[in-house]
Structure 1
Amino acid sequence: MRRCNEQAGFTLLEVMVALAIFAVLSLSLYSATEHLIGNNGGLSERTLAQWLADNRLNELRAGMRQPQSQRQEPIRFAGRDWLLTSETAAAPDPRLLKIVLEVSTDAPMPRQRARLAGYLEARP
């Protein structure tokens, strides 16, 4: 009978290299996931701010609110505190008013999350 001296399996060095590769790949996957989660939170905040600006512009167009030359007001919307700034300016057509709405987070350091410009019929 003949004995085989070859051993099956991996050496310690091969296992260590495989673990190092796995660790690097895991770290990069974790970093990418963390980045996506951070973007998702910002995206939802910007979406809510855009909805708030759209709602206010539609209220102005429907005549539910009167446009003012400049106004800043805190608003509670979707369970969050916001700061809505509206500014009215003359449009190239004298029959129109230009409205610029900015929505910011209402925090110690407000960050602008949405900006919307639209036109209203100028009422005498």
Structure 2
Amino acid sequence: MGFAIPLLFECTNKYCGVDVCTGHSCSSSQRVTPGQAFEVNRRMVLAMREIGGGHAAMQKLVAVVGMHGGLANEPFASHQKAVEAAATAVAKEQMARAATELRTLCDSTVPDPGNQLL
């Protein structure tokens, strides 16, 4: 589960009849997609990437802060690959947009070289 923790809600009022987690597990974190990784774990790997740390830095942070959980090497690497794939896709999309915008700007502002005076 990593940084996600299981939750169980019980009502002590015998007339309540509310059982939030009947027949399925509840967690402190949503999943990235149903049946997949917990979002909190993915976000923790992203945070470590943003500050330039890796698995060892995350483990140190968890120990110093006294947090529950942590991620083993394999899940950390799996999340890291997913974050990298998403970052690469976003970067490619942004670069394509920037190139299109630059081409449009240059086509409309750059004079024909044959018409320039030397």
Q: TM-score range by the shorter chain?
A: 0.3 to 0.5
Structure with greater Cα Rg: 1
Structure (1/2) with the larger strand percentage: 1
Structure (1/2) with the larger helix percentage: 2
